[in-house]
A = this chain, B = another copy of it.
Amino acid sequence: MSACVHDPDLFTNKGSILITGTRIGDRNVDIFIDETGTIRDIGEGVSKKCRSEAEHQISAEKTLAIPGLVNAHTHAAMTLLRGYADDMHLQQWLSEKIWPLEAHLTGEDVYWGTKLACLEMIRSGTVAFNDMYFFMEDAARAVDESGIRGVLCHGFITFGLAEKFESEVKATENLVSHIRGMNNPRITPAVGPHAPYTVPPEHLEWCGSYSKDEDIMLHIHLSETEQEVIDCKKAHGVTPAVLLDQCGCLSERTLAAHGCWLEDEDCRLLAERGCHVAHNPVSNMKLATGRAMPYPSLRSAGVNVALATDGCSSNNNLDLFEEMKVAAIGQKFFWKQDTLLPAEEALSMATSCGAKALGIPGGSIVVGQAADIVLVSLDHPSMVPLHNPVSNLVYSASGCQVSTVLCNGRVLMYEKEIPGETAILSGAADAAAGLLNRAAQNT
């Protein structure tokens, strides 16, 4: 057994790990993880029992151990567009800034953007994410290298065009086959119809069937803006949620992002079908959606609500600690209920609810579970005093207090060190600069 600080093999995915001296809530515990990455023992006496057996040791005094966070909806490679355009009218922002730049994206850009996103997520304690974008085989390569979990789908947009439908089906089928071929248990494919307003009912039907036939997640944007709900009712006579149901797109495999303008009956329908909703409060506020996701209705209907950052062009970071706080205070504010979405629920949203929504291991620290564990440093003024660990995590901490991250039993960050970080930062900065150059040359 070797101490981590001089342990060259710590990051290599080999051997069992003993975490000593951390705490879970109010309990002081050690955690033993076996060589398969599974949590084998948790408790006060564990270090005595397992010290001789452990191949690596992590001294975790002055930390809180929490489950690795789960980002339930993002467009990871949009890190490259961080800060490129803000504070604009939505349509102008999309048509004059985001879409023209995205038209010049390459697979290599998406690879570097996703590398940067994974790095940022690891640094802020996120070990799994649900992604929708383009060039997803390149994204898969980045996720594979990063060590975290990803559910990946190609953003499927047809605008009703038969030709586009054919190419989107092909892109989706190719991605599913590619990811299955990777045979990496951390990476799973999904089908990603972008939204009911960009994919018409007949194409949504294909997505619904495909999700069922392949037993994969269906990831979609739902009722983010008021306008799309108005338009849907006008065109189809029903809300977007009901339209999705008619197209066979609502099931326990469905993850719907946003849901700001869901009606009470929509919430009940989503609950009945066993769907999951991803709440993106920062993005919703930044884009001035005008209504907060109806958490009270979703909660009372029994819908599983996960937490998400959305992409970096509308957030502009991937820090789920910030998102937990904004969710907890934003829901209280908008629905005028000072006890709504307490800290415990915000933490569950970002952990167990996210893992459930994505159908992945993790989300809790229990024996027999994969070791997706984040150590949060208590050695920071914002974590003192520690009257209530969960309150400090949600209302006071930021992702920067995360010191050590494990996913599937593998150490991805140790005391703020992530191997290869410098190369990723410069590779992503270069890719962003190249993208802007290409776009400038073409205008």
Contacts and interface: CB of A to CB of B under 8 A. Distances in A.
Contact of A286 (B120, B332, B381, B399): B332
- Counting chain B CB atoms within 10 Å of each CB, which of A82, A379, A386 scores highest? A82
Interface in A332-369: 332-333, 335-340, 342-343
Interface in A237-289: 282, 284-289
A396 B83 contact: yes
Contacts of A328: 87, 286
B385 A289 contact: no
Given A333-B290, A339-B89, A123 B285 contact: no
A80 interface: yes
A177 interface: no
| Binding site secondary structure of chain A | helix
Contact of A316 (B317, B391, B421, B428): B391
A229 B282 CA distance: 30
A116 interface: yes
Nearest to A382: B317
A285 B288 CA distance: 16
18 contacts: A80-B385, A82-B382, A82-B392, A83-B387, A83-B388, A84-B388, A87-B328, A87-B339, A90-B338, A116-B381, A119-B381, A120-B382, A282-B325, A288-B335, A316-B395, A319-B382, A384-B425, A387-B432
What 10 A-B pairs come out closest when comparing CB atoms?
Answer: A400-B400, A385-B432, A83-B391, A87-B342, A120-B381, A285-B333, A285-B329, A316-B395, A288-B338, A83-B388
Interface of A: 79-84, 86-90, 93, 116, 119-120, 123, 282, 284-290, 292, 312, 315-319, 322, 325-326, 328-330, 332-333, 335-340, 342-343, 379-382, 384-388, 391-392, 395-401, 421, 424-425, 428-429, 432-433, 436
